[in-house]
Structure 1
Amino acid sequence: MMNPKDFFPVGKLCELYDLEYSFFQEMNEFGLIELEVYSGERYIHQDALYVVEKIIRIHRDLHINLEGIDVVMNMLRRQEVLEEELLQLKNKLRRYDDSI
């Protein structure tokens, strides 16, 4: 069940960022964000606001369309996975070195 405190109305985001509602619909269609419907209004979970702000900055500052943003976001997610794997490998190597 949706807890309204955890969600932010898309209409309010449109006002705050001076964006058309269609921009958020397109982000949803690309799978960049997930919109929830409650009482006929669309909402974004508060945990996704950081991603929304990042997407808006990329779109505005770098003039990248949503197709390009989709590629950038996938690359950033892949980078995060690789950095986590590298950290785990460094920790294993450190434990190995410490035991010798």
Structure 2
Amino acid sequence: MENVSSAIPGPSGLPIIGLVFAFAGSLTHRVLANLAKTFEAVPLMAFSIGFTRFIISSHPDTAKDILSSLAFADRPVKESAYELLFHRAMGFAPYGELSTRGT
């Protein structure tokens, strides 16, 4: 029988601080793309920064599946992430029809 891990691949980082230093002085999207290629984790990659666990998709089909899945609908948003992304982020949009409020 083949031993297959169900864990999402990705860098392990340092205890407690995770990969916080990997992003210093670099463009975040390029760091994430390079990590995904390095760990052969383009469809899905997992890593931690501090005590927060992130799951990243670098493949358009996987991202589309995630964003259109009811399993990920209306997931809670941490206030820190909301502030960090300037109150805008497709991944944090509530499930359902697009609202045009505030535009």
| TM-score tier after normalising by the smaller chain length | under 0.3
Higher helix share: 1
Which protein has the larger Cα radius of gyration, Structure 1 or Structure 2?
1
TM-score relative to the length of structure 1: 0.23
